[in-house]
Structure 1
Amino acid sequence: MLKFDQVLHARLGSLQEASSVWSEAVSKLEKSKDKAETGLKGKAEKADWKGENAGVTQAFVRKTAKEFGDALIGATSIRNILRDAHTEFQAAKSELEKLVAEAPGKGIRIDQDGVVSYLIHPDRRAKDYDGPKPEQADFEATRSAIKAAIDRANNADDVASRALRGLVGTDKNNFSGTRYDSLGAASKAQDAEDAHAAYELYKKGDEATPAEIDRLNALFKANQKDPYFAEKFALEVGPKGSMEYWADMGDPSDGSRLGVDHRDKLKELQTNWSMTLATATHSTSPEMEQWKADVIKAGGEPIQTRGTSPYGFQVMSNLMRVGDYDDKFLKDYGNGLVITERKMTHDGRLPADRAWHAMGGMPSHLNWQGGDLGNDPMIGFMEGLGHNPKASTDFFNGSIDLTPENSKDDKKIDPFDYFTKDREWPEELNDKGDRTKEPGYNALGHALESATTGHPYDADTEGLKDVRTKENAEVMQKVVERYGDDPKYMHKQPGIDDSLGKMGAAYIDELNRSLETDSDTTMEEKKNSPFGYNDDKGKSRFGEEFDTGLLWNRGDAVNFMGIVSQSETGHATLSAAETLYTTSVLDEVGPKPGSTFDERDLTDARTTLRIGSEAQGIMDESRMAQIDKDYEKDSEEHKKAVGRTTEWVKFGVGAAAAGGVVALTGGAGGVLVPLAAETVGGAVTTFIGMEADDMAEKYEKDELLKKKSDDLKDEALAMGKENSLRPGIAYANAPGWSERDRNYLDEMLVDEVRDARLHARDNSLPDPYEKK
C-alpha cells in the first residue's frame, strides 16, 4: 500500500514513457491491421482458390488478419490502462502537492507523514495575531482530502496491475482480445447525464411546473442509491445550492402555488432529495469532503429568499429527515449545529426558540413531511440520527468541544444531558395549527431508539436481529438513569413516551435480571440468574464486566419501568414485551416438553414466572396510579382509561419471532423484543397463537361506563395478574407434553404462582406525575 510520502514524491516519468511507447505501438498496429485486412485478407477473399487449398488457406489468412485486430485491441487497452493510471497517480500527487502548498494559507501544517496540525497553535499565537484560524471542520476536510488522494493512488495501482495481468492472458499463441473502457464509461455517462438533467430542473426553483417536479422526482428515484449520480448532483448544485432551493420552496410570500396545491409532490421531493444527499455524503472524494465541510460552515449563515431568511442549519436539517447520512458527517454536522446554537443563545442563557424562530413575518415552511414546519434544526438532525445507529450511538456517548480552537478552556458539553435535560425544546406549529413541543421530543426519542437498539428507529422488523452492543447499552444506561430518576422528564417531554417503551422492550431481558436481585442497590446479578443476555459460556454481549454485573440496579429498573408505564403507550409496550420475554425464558430454563422431570427442575421456571408477574404488577399499579391522578374518579375518561389497560394482551398475538427477537404487532408495532434463545421454543409459538381477551371486549361501552371506577380497577388489575401468567399456560400447553404433564405443570407452576402473592415484594413505586 502506498503511503503519503510515496504518492507525494512519486516519480511518474517512466510510467508516462511507457504509455507513450504503447501509443506508438498502437499507431503501428493500426497500420498493420489495415494492411492485413486490405492486403492479406482482401486478396485471399478475392482469390479464386479451388479445392482443399481454398478451405485451409483462406481460413488461415482470416485468422491471421484477426490476430492483428486483437493485437491492436490489446495494445490499445494496455495504453489506456497505463495512460489512465498515470493520470490518476498524477492527480493524486497534484492534489497532495496542492494541499501541502495551500495548507499554510489556511493556518494548517502537513508534515512529511501527512499528519495535519496547526501551523501556529492557538496557545502560541501572539496577541496581535491576525492570520488564519482554522476550525475543526478545516482539519477534518484536509485529513479527508489527504486520505482520498492516497486512496485514489492505491486504487489506481490495484486496478492497473490487475488489468495488465488479465491482458497478458494464458494463451501464448493468441492475443486475448480483451477490451477495456466501455461499460463503465457508458454507465457513468448516463449517470452524469441524469445528474445534469436534475440540475437543470433544480435551476427552475419554485417556478417549476408540477410536471417538472414530477420529472425531478423521477430522476431522483431512478438513481436513488447510485453514489456516482448522487455525488455528481450534490457537487453540481453545490453546498449552498440545496439550501437556497429548499428555502425558496419554503418561502410563503413569493406567490408559488406548489406548496398550496401540490404538497404531496414537495413531500416526495423532500424525501428523494434527502436520500440523494445522504448517499452522496458517503463519498470520500476530495470534492465531497470539501462539500461536507462547506455545508457545516454555511449552517450558521442566513439563506436569504424574498420573504424569509432561515439559517443554513435550519434548511439542511430538513433534508436529513430521510436517508442514511455518513456517520462522520452526522457527527461533525451535529457538533457544528450545537456549537452554533450555544453561541446564538449565549451558552443557553436564552431559550433555543430565540435562535431559530423568526421574530417577525411569516415563518419558513421547510418541512413537508408533516408534524412541524421545520424551524427547529435539531428535529431534522435527530431524525437523521434516528436512521443511523452508529452515528447516534457515538453522538450520545461523546462530548462536544464548544471552543475547538481553544485547547485550554476545556469547554465541553454532554450531548445526552443537553438534549434530554438542559435544552428547552421550542414549540412547533403542528399539522393542526397548534403549538407543541411534541415534534422535537418525538424526534429525540427516534434518535435514542437508534442509539440504544442498534437499528434505525423505523426499520422494517422483518429479518432484524438483536445487534445491541456495549456502546448501545451505555446509552441505555443513561436513558434509564435520566427517565427513571423523576417522572417529570417523561411527562414534560410529550411524544417521547412511545420511544421509551420501545427502548425498555429492547432491554426487557436486562431489566428482568435486575428485578430478580434481593437488594435495590446491588450491581451484581443473583447467582445463576435465568435472565439477561449471556451466551453458552456465560459471557455478556455488553462486555466482561456484565457477565455477572448489572446494567442498572433493581431500584433503577423498578423506577424506569414504573415511570414509563405511567404512560398508556409505555405500559402497553412494556407489558407485551414482558410476557413474550418471560415465555421465551420458560422455553430456555424449564424442562423440555416430553422429558422426565421432578419438582426441583421447575425452580428456574417458577422464578421466571414470579419475576414476570412482579414486573407486570409494577407496570399495572403505576398505570392505575397515573390514571387516578389524570382523571376524576368515576368520570367517563377515567373508566375508559382503565378499560384500555388490558388491550396490550393482543399485541403478542400473531407476532413474528425469528433470529432471537420477536416483533410485536398491533398498537406496539415496530417493537423488537429480545428472546432468551435464537431458536423459537414451543412455549413462544403456543403463546403467539393463543386467544386473548381484554376488558374492551368483555364490556360494551355503555356497560363499562355504568360500573364504578374502583370496581373496574380491581377487575383490570386481576386481569393483568392473570395475563402475566399466560407465559406459564403457554409453556404447559406447548407441543410435546403429555396430558398428565400438562396438568402437573398447570398445578405446580401456574396455580402455585397464581395462589401465591404475585407481587412478592413491596416495591417502592415512583409517584404519579401531577400535570399542571
Structure 2
Amino acid sequence: MAVTYMDLVEVDLGKLEAAVSDWKNIVDKLKTAAENARKGMKAKSDKARWAGVNATVTREFVDKTTKEISDLHIEANSIYQVLNDAHTELVSLQKQVRAARAEAQKWGIRVDDYGDGTVHCVYPHDRSTGDDHTQEQVEARQELEGRINRILSHASEIDASVARALRKSHGSDPNNAGHSSYESLDEAQVERAAELAKLGIKMTDEQFTELNSILKWNAKDADFSTAFYTSLGGPEETLEFYGRMSLDGTQGNDKERLALTRQLQRSMGTALATATDAGNEPHLSARWGEEFRKLGNKSIELYPGAGNAPYGYQILGGLLRYGNYDARFINPIAEHVVQLHHKDPYFFMNNKPMTGGADLDWGFNPSGKNGAGYDPLTSVLEGLGHSPEAAKKFFTDEPTVYKEDGTVDKNASLGYDYFDELNKKDFVWPPDSLVHPGSDGAKHVRDMGPDALGHALEAAVTGSAWDADPPKLHRDETTQDIMARVIERYNVTVADGPHDNMKDSLARMGAAYIDDLNYSIKDFGGSGDELGRDRIFAHSSDGSTRTSFGEQAARNFMMLVAADEDGYKTLSSAQQVFAASGLASLEENRDAGISFANNAAKVNGILDESRAHQIREDFKDDETARNLEMEKQGEWRKTLMSGGVAAVAAGGTALLLGPAAGVVAATAVPVLVESGGETVNTVYGNHTLQYLEDHEYKNDPEALAAVQGLESVGERGAWTPASNYADAIGMTQAEKDRLNREIEGSYRDGKDAISDAEKVSS
C-alpha cells in the first residue's frame, strides 16, 4: 500500500525512533544471552560425559536452545538494522515533504491528497483574478507537484522494502527464529532486486515495476549499486540480462512494457555509473571495464541459435547513455569505440538485424532518443554528454591505443585526436536505425551522431551534463581551451559548418561563454585601447581563464549560430543580461562603462544581422514569409525586453535552460542571481552569470531589471541597458544624447560587420 501525502506529513517518526532504540536494546541483551549460552551451558554440555537418554535428548536440547538464542539475536539485529536505516531515510523525506508543503502555502497552492501515493497541486478558485496565473506560478505549481510525488514514491519504496525485509527476517514459523538476515536496508533491497532480475523477461509488469522502483531510488547508492551488479554475476551476465530485457521491451506495441523497459535503462545506467566510479566505496573492480572492452566486439548470445547476435558494445551502449561516469571507466571504452569506428565505420551497423517486418524501435536503446542502439559511437557520446569530467578528459588527454580485443597496445600511436576526428566535415556517421535505405524515414538516420557529439562537447566546455536540470557552470582553463577549439573549428562557412543537429548545443556553449565572446569582439590586437581591454572586462571571468577567441573567429562563430532561430534566441537572451549586468559593475568607471556598452551594442548588431540575413536567404522568393519571420524576430526581442519575465521566489541560484534550451522565445525562463542578499529575475536562459558572480562579477538588480524596459527592437535593444546606465551614473541629457548616437553607431558597426562579402553563405 502506497504512502500517502498526509501519512508522511503527519506521521510521528519519534515512535519509530523509539522502536529502533528498543530493538537496539533487545539486540544487545540477546547478544549477551547468546554469548552466555554458548560459553555457559553449551560449553558445559559439550564437556560433560553424558550417558543413556541424556546423551541424546539433553545434549540435543542444549544445542537447540543455544542455536535458537543465537538465531533470535540474528533476527533482532536484522530487524534493528532495517528499521534504523528506514528511520533515517524517512526522517529526511518527511523534512523534504514538509518543506514542500510550506512552499505550497507560500504560493497559495492547495495540495490535494489522492490517497494512492500521489497528489495534485492546484490554485484555489479566485474570482478577483479570473484564475489567471503567471508563467512563474504555473511552473511553481508543476515543480511542487512533481517534487512531492517523487518524495512519496521514494517513501512508498522504503515502506515496501522494510515490510518485505521484516517478513523475511521473521519467517513464517513463530516457533523458529532466525531466517533471512540483513546488515542494512540496502542489503535487503539488493536481495529482492536480484530475485526479480533472475526472472528476466518472465517478470510480470507488477514485478517489473517493483524492480524499477528499487533501482530508481537506490541507483546512486554505491553500496546498493555495487552489490546489485555483483549479484548479476559479471560483465557478460550483465549484458545478457539487459540485452534480453531491452529486446523484449522494445518489441511489439506493449506501451506499458516499453515504459518499464525505459525506466530500467535509466536506472541501470545510473547504477552502473555509481558502481564503476573508483571514487566511491565500495565500487566494482577495474576488471569490469577491462571485461566490457574485451566483450565490445564479441558476439553475445542472448538467445541460443538466434542470428545476428549483438556485440557487447551494442548492448552496453544502452546503459552508458544514462549516468555520470568516471573517466577511468567510460573513456577507455569511448576511445576503443572511436578507434574501431575509424578502422571500419560500418563494423557495428553491419551487425544490425535484417528487419523484415520488425519494429523500428527494436534494439538496445529503449529511450528512442538518438538511435535504436546498434551504433555504440552515438551511445558513448551520449554517455560523455552526461559525464562532464570524463568528456573534458576525452577531448584533451593523450589518446591510448587499444587493440581490437580491448587491451592496450603500448607500442602503437594513434595519429589523430578525438576532437579533430569527430569534428571532421567528412566524418562518416553510422545510420543507427532499422529503417530501409531509400525510405522517407532514412533521410535523418545520420543526424543522431552529430547531435550526440554536440552533447559531449557541451558537457566538456560547460562542466555540466548537457540536459542537467538545473545545471551549474564549471569553467576552467581546460574547458576554455576546448571552447577555443570549438570556435576555431566552427567559425567557417555554412558549407563547412556544424551539422544542424549540433547547433542547439553550440548555442548553449556560446551563451555559457558570452563574456569571452564580448571580450573577443573588443579585440584590439594590443593597440588602440588606451583604457585597456582587461580593465573594461575586469569583472568578466577570472583573469586567469579570460580568453580572446579572436575578433573574426568570435564574430564568425556567432554568425553561424545566430543564423539559426533558436541559436539567435539563446545568444541574444544571454547577451542582453550580460550587457545590463556588465554595466552595473562599471558604474564607478564611466569611460570603461561607455566602452563596454558600445562593444555590447556591436555584439547585438552582429547577432541581429546574422539572423536577419538568414531570414532573407531562407525566404528570398517569398516576401510575405520573409516579413513574417522578421516580425517574429522583432516580437521576440520585445518579449525579452518588456516583461516576458516570471517572478521568481527569492533565495535561489542561477538556473539554466534544460533540454529545451534555445526556446526561450516561447517560455519565460527565470534565472536567479543573488547579490547582497537580493535576487534578480530575468529570462536569461543560461548559467553564465552564476559563474561570473562566483568570480566576483558584480550583478546589480536594478541594472538587470533594465532589460525589461525595451519598447522597440534593433538598436533600441542595444540602447536600453546603456540608457539605464546613463541614469544610474547621472549623465546630463546632452551626454545621454551623445551616448545614444555612439550606441547606435556601434550597433550598426556590428550589422555592417556582416557585409555581403563576409556573410556566411552556403
- Contact 1:352 1:425 survives alignment (8 Å): no
Matched, 1:423 2:438: no
Match of 2:759 in 1: 767
User: Alpha carbons of 1:658 and 1:337: their partners in 2 closer, same or farther (altered >3 Å)?
Assistant: farther
1: CA distance, partners of 2:310 / 2:491: 37
Residue 479 of structure 2, aligned match among 441, 447, 472 = 472
Shift of 1:220: 0.7
Larger Rg: 1
Q: Tell me how many residue pairs correspond in the alignment.
A: 542
Match of 1:508 in 2: 514
Q: Which amino acid aligns with 2:706?
A: F
Shift of 1:650: 3.7
User: Alpha carbons of 1:756 and 1:322: their partners in 2 closer, same or farther (altered >3 Å)?
Assistant: closer
Match of 2:289 in 1: 292
**Residue ranges of structure 1 left out of the alignment (5+ in a row):** 1-25, 36-72, 74-184, 592-600, 695-718
Q: Which amino acid aligns with 2:506?
A: L
Q: Which amino acid aligns with 1:487?
A: V
Q: Which amino acid aligns with 1:680?
A: N
Shift of 1:506: 0.9
Query: Counterpart of 1:198 in 2: which secondary structure?
Result: helix
Matched, 1:540 2:555: no
Match of 1:487 in 2: 494
Match of 2:327 in 1: 327
- Contact 1:483 1:490 survives alignment (8 Å): yes
Match of 1:753 in 2: 743
Q: Which amino acid aligns with 1:611?
A: N
Question: TM-score scaled to structure 1, two decimals?
Answer: 0.62
Which string of whole-angstrom CA distances, capped at 9 and with x for unpartnered residues, describes residues 202-243 of structure 1? 222223221111011111123222211101111121212232
- Contact 1:490 1:497 survives alignment (8 Å): no
Shift of 1:671: 2.3
User: Alpha carbons of 1:383 and 1:744: their partners in 2 closer, same or farther (altered >3 Å)?
Assistant: farther
Shift of 1:505: 0.8
- Contact 1:367 1:373 survives alignment (8 Å): yes
User: Percent identity, aligned pairs only?
Assistant: 26
User: Alpha carbons of 1:477 and 1:213: their partners in 2 closer, same or farther (altered >3 Å)?
Assistant: same
Matched, 1:529 2:555: no
User: Alpha carbons of 1:249 and 1:756: their partners in 2 closer, same or farther (altered >3 Å)?
Assistant: closer
Pairing of 1:45-194 with structure 2 (within 5 A) = 188-194=183-189
Match of 2:626 in 1: 638
- Contact 1:314 1:356 survives alignment (8 Å): no
User: Alpha carbons of 1:266 and 1:686: their partners in 2 closer, same or farther (altered >3 Å)?
Assistant: same
User: Alpha carbons of 1:32 and 1:322: their partners in 2 closer, same or farther (altered >3 Å)?
Assistant: closer
User: Alpha carbons of 1:634 and 1:304: their partners in 2 closer, same or farther (altered >3 Å)?
Assistant: same
Q: Quick check: 635-644 or 350-359, which moved more?
A: 350-359
User: Alpha carbons of 1:244 and 1:636: their partners in 2 closer, same or farther (altered >3 Å)?
Assistant: farther
Query: Counterpart of 2:688 in 1: which secondary structure?
Result: strand
1: CA distance, partners of 2:698 / 2:747: 32
- Contact 1:482 1:489 survives alignment (8 Å): no
Match of 2:699 in 1: 680
Q: Which amino acid aligns with 1:415?
A: Y
Match of 2:111 in 1: none
Residue 441 of structure 1, aligned match among 442, 447, 450 = 450
1: CA distance, partners of 2:662 / 2:333: 37
Match of 2:562 in 1: 565
Question: TM-score scaled to structure 2, two decimals?
Answer: 0.63
Residue 210 of structure 2, aligned match among 210, 215, 233 = 215
- Contact 1:516 1:526 survives alignment (8 Å): no
Residue 203 of structure 1, aligned match among 191, 198, 202 = 198
User: Alpha carbons of 1:630 and 1:233: their partners in 2 closer, same or farther (altered >3 Å)?
Assistant: same
2: CA distance, partners of 1:318 / 1:534: 43
Query: Counterpart of 2:559 in 1: which secondary structure?
Result: helix
2: CA distance, partners of 1:625 / 1:753: 21
Matched, 1:367 2:354: no
User: Alpha carbons of 1:319 and 1:640: their partners in 2 closer, same or farther (altered >3 Å)?
Assistant: farther
1: CA distance, partners of 2:434 / 2:576: 36
- Contact 2:487 2:557 survives alignment (8 Å): yes
User: Alpha carbons of 1:395 and 1:446: their partners in 2 closer, same or farther (altered >3 Å)?
Assistant: same
Shift of 1:417: 1.2
Match of 1:240 in 2: 236
- Contact 2:208 2:260 survives alignment (8 Å): yes
- Contact 1:509 1:531 survives alignment (8 Å): no
Q: Which amino acid aligns with 1:454?
A: G
Query: Counterpart of 2:367 in 1: which secondary structure?
Result: coil
1: CA distance, partners of 2:653 / 2:538: 11
2: CA distance, partners of 1:635 / 1:762: 23
Query: Counterpart of 2:704 in 1: which secondary structure?
Result: helix
Shift of 1:511: 1.1
- Contact 1:251 1:307 survives alignment (8 Å): no
Match of 2:396 in 1: 397
Shift of 1:724: 1.9
Matched, 1:452 2:451: no
2: CA distance, partners of 1:614 / 1:240: 58
2: CA distance, partners of 1:560 / 1:192: 53
1: CA distance, partners of 2:746 / 2:250: 72
Residue 671 of structure 1, aligned match among 683, 686, 708 = 686
Which string of whole-angstrom CA distances, capped at 9 and with x for unpartnered residues, describes residues 628-647 of structure 1? 22233335543333233232
Shift of 1:614: 1.0
Match of 1:716 in 2: none
Match of 1:48 in 2: none
Shift of 1:522: 9.1
Matched, 1:379 2:394: no
- Contact 1:198 1:219 survives alignment (8 Å): yes
Which string of whole-angstrom CA distances, capped at 9 and with x for unpartnered residues, describes residues 620-672 of structure 1? 22222222222333355433332332325545753779999674688245522
Which string of whole-angstrom CA distances, capped at 9 and with x for unpartnered residues, describes residues 312-331 of structure 1? 11211111222212221111
Which string of whole-angstrom CA distances, capped at 9 and with x for unpartnered residues, describes residues 14-69 of structure 1? xxxxxxxxxxxx9999599979xxxxxxxxxxxxxxxxxxxxxxxxxxxxxxxxxx
**Residue ranges of structure 2 left out of the alignment (5+ in a row):** 1-31, 42-72, 74-179, 670-684
Query: Counterpart of 1:671 in 2: which secondary structure?
Result: coil
2: CA distance, partners of 1:330 / 1:298: 14
Q: Which amino acid aligns with 1:566?
A: A
Match of 2:274 in 1: 279
2: CA distance, partners of 1:309 / 1:368: 18
User: Alpha carbons of 1:481 and 1:607: their partners in 2 closer, same or farther (altered >3 Å)?
Assistant: same
